[in-house]
Structure 1
């Protein structure tokens, strides 16, 4: 019998509400944080971990030592994580109890084994230039006085470095950074672990995008899905068609070729792919500033009332798309290009007499077939350079999709939808339960934590190859976020998605197991939020009252 974690959470909320009714005459509130943070627990949770009673403290002379292959990505990561440890150690001086003569003498504890002096990094094979869908992120980590990190790939080394740094925690007296002796073997459950950002509804500064990438690195997410343009604005600056960015909100609110390269470089050095999306034929009103001729005239009766989606009947439409796609492929090294295909305003097509004649001449029975016709013409424009990713509507309309196409599922009945896509031989990325613009108040991260896409499918379709569900994405659509609230709106809510995609979920059919597990998750997330705050990511509180030692308090 499949276990529905979402239902469990609803029942747990109802159970808690009933408890409140029975004791409504008074409320007991205990002092201290609602969920006491753990100490040195890694987020996302490693696949295999053995923790000892023995522990060590950070040495101010600590060093990273390269014992295998090296490259600029590794050297930059060593500098970055050295700075993280040093800055965290500096925070101690602000809270240390030495001044109050309340410090703990660690030498009196038999489990204390001295200082961690170095981490030896053994990268076994030369670095790859860019991260990719099939990259190897597995690593093994052994924490002791001389710790070791081993991985076949630079991407695994990056994940292991993040784990190692997260394992340090502040002692109760705030005098030392401590770390438990630990052995870890870790790897992701899903290869595509993404976050969608939307820079059309609100422009996001480079600083916000860089900070987003910092947070993604801390959560072991590896795909920045960049929904760069939409109806509202076109901030991408095209070399081939410079007039397109006249649809930016302001001439300075654009992403130049240099800006894009900066973002790609920043992401690459953190093991993160940058996957662009240029959504067609819908969500394209902003294209009409430069190319009104490629958009459909929408009619009300005999009168034109505006422009709608792209016009699939005109050769000029495909010529513009072809040239722009070629330019995008040159600027973005990722092997996937998201071409959209969702939410097409087909009523506009149906209102246009020329389009109706085109459909009649081509034996089309409706606008769904016209949409299929359009997508079947633009996908081959990618050639051998890129593989397409499409929203699920494209699959639903029976477009013949080439091998290697990934379909992104975002609507209801997701298990049924994913099953049909798998049966057709395509790969899936899942987003249906992970729309971050749907806000339910504080602590709503738990609703995101309750969805594991492979478990959703295997519960009803055990015969299918669920390995072709290659991952998922948390989606931060931009209608109500900008530079002022982007980071706090996304984090730590996306952290819940990140852990499901890296660690997977436990399928135990045990109600009380999940009650206990949810409390443990909350305590681990409390520590992780503090960790993000300490490293400059202004994540909002996860679950309620608490305290975090930062240099901003």
Structure 2
């Protein structure tokens, strides 16, 4: 007779290919069938699982194995061995123990530069018995990464006997993300973050199965990034050393790739751009009124086009940001500087533009045309949709931050949407409790099945006005983990009382892995006084 675990594997395997709100309805009954009388000690909670009552020891010669040749998996094995086995084991076990994990991937890349995408299948199944080899199966290498993280959370160290073990065996897990886009925004314009800090953030994101780092790399206050065609652009950096070379950026996107994380840069057009003028003053309407960008100079549009081409590899160099999406901002455009500029008003008359909103729209459309010409899709903030609605390119993705109900409006108009509602998912609002983050539901106001499919995910945002290297980790964690579960696990996995012990355990896991997470019960932290260079704090 087929076991309950095997039956679940057969019946639920088709769900591995469903990455939307829609799949959640199917899984509720399956969870009941899986005899889930308690929560798994995992974060985020898997889609469905069964667990037993035995405790398995881990063999001394534990190994990761795969029949496929995969550079990404080989590096992942090294990484996870260091994460899992941090203590010296006294027991030399060779039998009746977990010998290792066999990883089987059905779609292995034949190249060494495979990057994740919005469509990447991150599903996996994991079985762990009391002895022998655990089995991890995935469609892609990135799905295998998610399964490796799950396995790593199952292994604990027994300090009494000084050996590693897995509780509650046998395990049978079927897992995949509810949403395709599960992001974290970091802001290196309001405060510079060294490369080592960014890579540490990427490490911690992988522990929670977040898969997008939205890099708000430039803003009003600073432009820290090297642009080779325009070498004066990073004159807008806070200091000579608070900058990113293109080699730095390559190393960050590669670090992200090895953890299954996409990096999407944001270049805000036309607002939040005063720092662009430090190296090229003509980009501003005037020396005393510095943003939005100056439309009356051809140089403005030349730099926008050349910048986007350079970062996407269209300028005879590998792409700094290989992802198919670019974030072009479009938020908080204050037109006062345009109103007071005679040059801008002459340019408007010459180009038959009747209002300053038309100028705003001109910038948005220009950014979209350039992006489309280089094979990139655009993400814009909510205001772009509020102002220009159905006139946008159909591939546009709108990121909501002001009004959650606008998610329903955006998807009803046929556009894809990312949820970052500020009242719940802005991490720089450090009085926001993890419970508030956890109970926020992206599909709350979306009731049509077809519309639900257009909600591709969400992002928590760590805006940098009051975040520098001293409080980066503690501002993000553990609250980002609450959002990570909302974006990965089933919709009905939302009980605060059940989440709290798992979140506490995950916080401790972060600490063991070198990530300084804030206490669950505290919202206090020290913070820098405002934007500025490191030596100004």
TM-score by shorter chain over 0.5: yes
* Distance in 1 between residues matched to 2:243 and 2:42, nearest whole Å: 37
Aligned to 1:440: 431
Write the distance in 1 (CA, Å) between the matches of 2:266 and 2:251.
18
Query: 1:290 deviation in Å?
Result: 1.5
Change (3 A) 1:276 1:305: closer
How far does residue 347 in structure 1 lie from its aligned partner after superposition?
A: 2.1
Tell me the residue number matched to 1:266. 255
What residue is the counterpart of 1:404 in the other structure?
395
Quote the Cα distance in structure 2 between the aligned partners of 1:347 and 1:418.
29
- 1:482-497 correspondence runs (5 A): 482-497=468-483
Tell me the distance in 2 between the aligned counterparts of 1:277 and 1:438: 21
Change (3 A) 1:324 1:198: same
Larger-Rg structure: 1
- Counterpart CA distance in 2 for 1:170 and 1:86 is 8
Q: What CA distance in whole angstroms lies between the structure 2 residues aligned with 1:482 and 1:427?
A: 32
Tell me the residue number matched to 1:165.
152
Gap runs ≥5 in structure 1? 1-37, 99-106, 108-112, 298-303, 508-513, 545-553
Aligned residue number for residue 126 of structure 2: 141
Q: Are the counterparts in 1 of residues 309 and 374 from structure 2 also a CA contact under 8 Å?
A: no
CA contact (8 A) 2:39 2:498 kept: no
Structure 1 305/264 Cα, relative in aligned 2: closer, same or farther at 3 Å?
closer
Does structure 2 conserve the Cα–Cα contact (< 8 Å) formed by 1:39 and 1:169?
no
Distance 2:161 2:270 in 1: 57
For residues 337-376 of structure 1, the C-alpha deviation after alignment (integer angstroms, 9 at most, x for no partner) is 1111111121222233343454456554532232112211
1:274-293 to 2 correspondence within 5 Å?
A: 274-293=263-282
1:63 aligned residue: 63
Counterpart for residue 77 of structure 2: 78
* 1:526–1:543 contact (8 Å) kept in structure 2: no
For 2:451 and 2:383, the matched residues in 1 are separated by 22
1:72-112 residue CA offsets vs partner (Å, 9 max, x unmatched): 1000001111112211x34x88xxxx9xxxxxxxx9xxxxx
How large is the RMSD of aligned CA atoms in angstroms? 2.3
Q: Which moved more, 1:340-349 or 1:308-317?
A: 308-317
- In the alignment of these two chains, the number of paired residues is 467
Alignment-derived partner of residue 50 in structure 2: 50
Structure 2 partner of 1:244: 233
Distance 1:468 1:352, change over 3 A: same
1:116 equivalenced with 2:98 (yes/no)? yes
Q: 1:308, 1:84 → 2: CA distance?
A: 46
The equivalent of 1:479 in structure 2 is 465
Q: Gapped runs of 5+ residues in structure 2?
A: 1-37, 314-319, 523-537
**Match 2:416 to one of 411, 427, 430:** 427
Please name the residue that 1:524 is paired with.
502
- Specify the SS of the correspondent of 2:177: coil
Q: Tell me if 1:450 matches 2:439.
A: yes
**Higher mean C-alpha displacement, 481-490 vs 354-363:** 354-363
- Given that 1:244 and 1:289 are in contact with CA atoms closer than 8 Å, whether structure 2 keeps it comes out as yes
CA distance in 1, matches of 2:444, 2:48: 20
Query: Which 4+ runs in 1 deviate beyond 6 A?
Result: none
Q: Give the Å deviation of 1:172.
A: 7.6
Is the CA contact (8 Å cut-off) linking 2:269 and 2:363 kept in structure 1?
no
User: TM-score, structure 1 length as denominator?
Assistant: 0.80
Kept in 2, the 8 Å contact 1:40–1:169? The answer is no
Per the alignment, residue 195 of structure 2 pairs with 206
Task: Tell me the CA shift for residue 143 of structure 1.
Answer: 0.5
The range that moved more, 56-65 or 169-178, is 169-178
Distance (Å, rounded) in 2 between the aligned partners of 1:496 and 1:457: 21
Contact 1:419 1:464 in 2 (8 A): no
Deviation digits for residues 205-241 of structure 1 (CA, Å, limit 9, x no counterpart) = 1111111011001000111111111111111011111
Give deviations 1:304-341, integer Å, cap 9, x for gaps. 74322102233221111111111011121111111111
Which one scores higher on RCO, CA 8 angstroms, separation ≥ 6?
1
